[in-house]
A and B are shown apart, each in its own frame.
Chain A
């Protein structure tokens, strides 16, 4: 089989038809820790200056798997004198205006305090991140925020959720896939309950440093394995939530899996259904088949888009998941950005197209 790297058989003219776009994954980035200092308590400023973040990984700054590009970013996304994703004007021009994005979800991932080894310090930084997003990004009404929470300390995470729950500019609670313990375990339930009570979905973005190897057979060598591995981490994340009964126990719980792919979902649901049928005496707290919880309460963002050969096969996967469950995303300013005019392999019926690019996100994030 030849790999048609440049194969784009049919381009969908999204902009020419003025389709409004919702983007489920945008990354605002600070230029340095100093940007956060105005929003941090003095003791945490001192901690940041003296000891740094101390994430659960080896390097003070920068990942153990060096990225494919500087800052894992598009070459054209560097504002003068700053880091990609650090300039609101550039983001407005390059991303929002260019693509007619009228709803953009900000996911401030990275060095955001959510899983520092020093949890109290991490809670302080997470809180500062939210204040920074509020003051410097949510002044743009097309952008909405995700609440950064120190999810390894459920009480602190709940406090942070409650701090912002009444603010309509924050539309979800942000976690990452690589938690320190299986995320369906009881220590995390309070977070899900607080989010459900506030009518906020939990958005789970790929990445994070939980401390354990990123595969069940130890640490792989390469960034490409780390990236492909996000799909495995997401499968483990979802499996834990389903099998522990989080969807059963917390009725209004909604989950958005961000930047981990989506075609793996149907085979995982088939596997879980089959296992549940065989092993259900182990999990009497589950009253329905795993696939039913998933169909009802799980959404996925589309970037980085699945690209089978032939590309049309991806439509089967979307049929199996449900066209109402995918949220288009660009991942701006990162290198594996998806362009809305290129992301789908063929023209779709108008309703499907609108759901995929806009309506699903508007409903999920209660913008209608």
Chain B
């Protein structure tokens, strides 16, 4: 492991909605009635089976309740041990998975108000991403406009797999709102399971589902670039969350090669995809699907071609590493500082004024 820099910014932690009752006070009367009368179940995605080893580090499980659902535990597990100055909450409660656009919007609103009241109000080191109903871009924008004035919300949160590839114009109003408010769009691992997670159908094992997340991020990047999202929204920043990053160079090699051969199909892509992605896209560092040796990691960093793309994250409470070995071996002191402090500050402009020690 590489030594950590004090005062790091953790760009991906997961506070959990302890149960649907916790949202009751934050749901409108209508949606609270619906939840109670129809017996709406917990909106827990199959992306993280509750007892799967990956879902929580063993020493981060709670005696009572879901991993990540207790603020004191989160302080003790995720903030203090790593000397974290700021951590960004990405709540993965499955509101984007609902088929009803209105119910998705009702739940997104409740989750955001719950995060503000139960987490941000109580712990000054926490920030959050705005959960939006991806089911309907218009409703998503309404929610962004409602929440964005609260500067503790520093990002808009999407799932990497939904109804359509993320570069499609369906989602453009969300990107316009992001640009307008100066908010990066964070794309997190996970799916609404509208389609199988692989192009070859529904896989048998959870292991395959999680492995497929990396390919979903590759496809999402292709879509964002090829549809011209970064041409249309030149100030947009995208952050890939819990994506892995070691696949990135190989993917950009192919995307750029085919862009050379097929750019007549997407003439609005006016620069090499490699350059576009290096400018607009950031990736969190956990999980690090790293090579077996520091020398190989060093080469991979050269292939990345930029030391500004990686952002520190623990992915709390998911079990991606043990002890304090968040970062892989072989990163220079300079790079660690960039990953933990400089790059997050450059990405999340809303943090800057507050993070200065």
Q: List the B side residues contacting A231 at CB < 8 Å.
A: 218, 250-251, 254
Tell me the residues in window 117-131 of chain A with beta carbons closer than 8 Å to chain B beta carbons.
Answer: none
CA–CA, A213 to B299, complex, Å?
A: 34
Q: List the B side residues contacting A268 at CB < 8 Å.
A: 211, 214, 247
Q: List the B side residues contacting A224 at CB < 8 Å.
A: 222, 226, 258-259, 262, 265-266
| Interchain CB contact under 8 A, B251 and A215 | no
Q: Which residue of B lies closest to A224 (CB)?
A: B262
| Interchain CB contact under 8 A, A215 and B302 | no
Q: List the B side residues contacting A306 at CB < 8 Å.
A: 250, 253-254, 257
Interface size class of A (residues with CB under 8 A): 35 or more
Asked if A82 is an interface residue, CB under 8 A from chain B, the answer is no
Q: List the A side residues contacting B119 at CB < 8 Å.
A: none
CA–CA, A244 to B212, complex, Å?
A: 14
CA–CA, A268 to B161, complex, Å?
A: 19
Contact with B along A228-265 (1 / 0, CB 8 A): 11011101110110011000000000000000010110
CA–CA, A29 to B1, complex, Å?
A: 54
Contact of B165 among A180, A217, A275 (CB under 8 A): A217
Q: Which residue of B lies closest to A3 (CB)?
A: B272
Q: List the A side residues contacting B208 at CB < 8 Å.
A: 182, 236, 239-240, 243
| Interchain CB contact under 8 A, A182 and B200 | yes
Q: List the A side residues contacting B207 at CB < 8 Å.
A: 243, 272, 275-276, 279, 282-283
Nearest-CB distance from B3 to chain A (Å)? 22
Q: Which residue of B lies closest to A286 (CB)?
A: B207
Contact with B along A262-302 (1 / 0, CB 8 A): 01101110111011101101110000000000000000000
Tell me the residues in window 193-227 of chain B with beta carbons closer than 8 Å to chain A beta carbons.
Answer: 194-208, 210-212, 214-216, 218-220, 222-223, 226-227
Q: Which residue of B lies closest to A225 (CB)?
A: B222
| Interchain CB contact under 8 A, A217 and B162 | yes
Nearest-CB distance from A180 to chain B (Å)? 7
Nearest-CB distance from A216 to chain B (Å)? 4
| Interchain CB contact under 8 A, A317 and B199 | no
Asked if B125 is an interface residue, CB under 8 A from chain A, the answer is no
| Interchain CB contact under 8 A, B250 and A261 | yes
A231-B218, A309-B274 are contacts. A218–B199 as well, Cβ < 8 Å?
A: no
Q: List the A side residues contacting B272 at CB < 8 Å.
A: 1, 3
Tell me the residues in window 303-318 of chain A with beta carbons closer than 8 Å to chain B beta carbons.
Answer: 304, 306-309, 313-314, 316-317
| Interchain CB contact under 8 A, B223 and A271 | no
CA–CA, A224 to B269, complex, Å?
A: 12
Q: Which residue of A lies closest to B168 (CB)?
A: A221
Tell me the residues in window 168-185 of chain A with beta carbons closer than 8 Å to chain B beta carbons.
Answer: 177-185
| Interchain CB contact under 8 A, A216 and B161 | yes
| Interchain CB contact under 8 A, B250 and A264 | yes
Asked if B54 is an interface residue, CB under 8 A from chain A, the answer is yes
| Interchain CB contact under 8 A, B251 and A182 | no
Tell me the residues in window 287-301 of chain B with beta carbons closer than 8 Å to chain A beta carbons.
Answer: 287, 289-292, 296, 299
A216-B212, A270-B292 are contacts. A68–B265 as well, Cβ < 8 Å?
A: yes
Contact of B220 among A5, A217, A283, A320 (CB under 8 A): A217
Asked if A214 is an interface residue, CB under 8 A from chain B, the answer is yes
Q: Which residue of B lies closest to A221 (CB)?
A: B227
Q: List the B side residues contacting A314 at CB < 8 Å.
A: 253
A177-B200, A271-B211 are contacts. A263–B253 as well, Cβ < 8 Å?
A: yes
Q: List the B side residues contacting A307 at CB < 8 Å.
A: 253, 256-257, 260
Q: Which residue of A lies closest to B195 (CB)?
A: A213
Number of residue pairs across A and B with beta carbons under 8 Å? 258
| Interchain CB contact under 8 A, A217 and B216 | yes
Q: List the B side residues contacting A180 at CB < 8 Å.
A: 200-201
| Interchain CB contact under 8 A, B199 and A243 | no
Asked if B83 is an interface residue, CB under 8 A from chain A, the answer is no
Q: List the A side residues contacting B84 at CB < 8 Å.
A: none
Q: Which residue of B lies closest to A280 (CB)?
A: B207
Of listed B166, B262, B299, residue having the most chain A CB within 10 A: B262
Q: List the B side residues contacting A308 at CB < 8 Å.
A: 249, 253, 303
Asked if A137 is an interface residue, CB under 8 A from chain B, the answer is no
CA–CA, A217 to B195, complex, Å?
A: 6
Tell me the residues in window 223-267 of chain B with beta carbons closer than 8 Å to chain A beta carbons.
Answer: 223, 226-227, 244, 246-247, 249-251, 253-262, 264-266
Q: List the A side residues contacting B250 at CB < 8 Å.
A: 231, 261, 263-264, 267, 306, 317
Asked if B164 is an interface residue, CB under 8 A from chain A, the answer is yes
| Interchain CB contact under 8 A, A232 and B292 | no
Nearest-CB distance from A239 to chain B (Å)? 5
CA–CA, A104 to B257, complex, Å?
A: 25
| Interchain CB contact under 8 A, B264 and A68 | yes
Nearest-CB distance from B65 to chain A (Å)? 22
CA–CA, A271 to B219, complex, Å?
A: 17
| Interchain CB contact under 8 A, A228 and B255 | yes
Asked if B52 is an interface residue, CB under 8 A from chain A, the answer is yes
Nearest-CB distance from A361 to chain B (Å)? 23
CA–CA, A239 to B54, complex, Å?
A: 18
A243-B208, A279-B207 are contacts. A236–B200 as well, Cβ < 8 Å?
A: yes
Asked if A210 is an interface residue, CB under 8 A from chain B, the answer is yes
Nearest-CB distance from B274 to chain A (Å)? 7
A-B CB proximity, top 10 nearest: A263-B250, A271-B289, A236-B198, A215-B219, A232-B215, A267-B246, A217-B161, A216-B197, A224-B262, A267-B247
Additional 13 contacts, C-beta under 8 A, given A212-B199, A216-B216, A264-B250: A216-B196, A217-B162, A217-B166, A228-B255, A231-B250, A240-B200, A243-B204, A261-B253, A264-B254, A267-B214, A268-B211, A320-B291, A335-B261
| 23 chain-A/chain-B pairs, Cβ below 8 angstroms | A3-B275, A180-B200, A215-B199, A216-B161, A216-B198, A217-B195, A218-B162, A218-B163, A218-B195, A220-B167, A221-B168, A222-B227, A224-B259, A233-B199, A236-B198, A236-B200, A239-B208, A240-B198, A263-B254, A267-B289, A274-B289, A275-B207, A283-B205
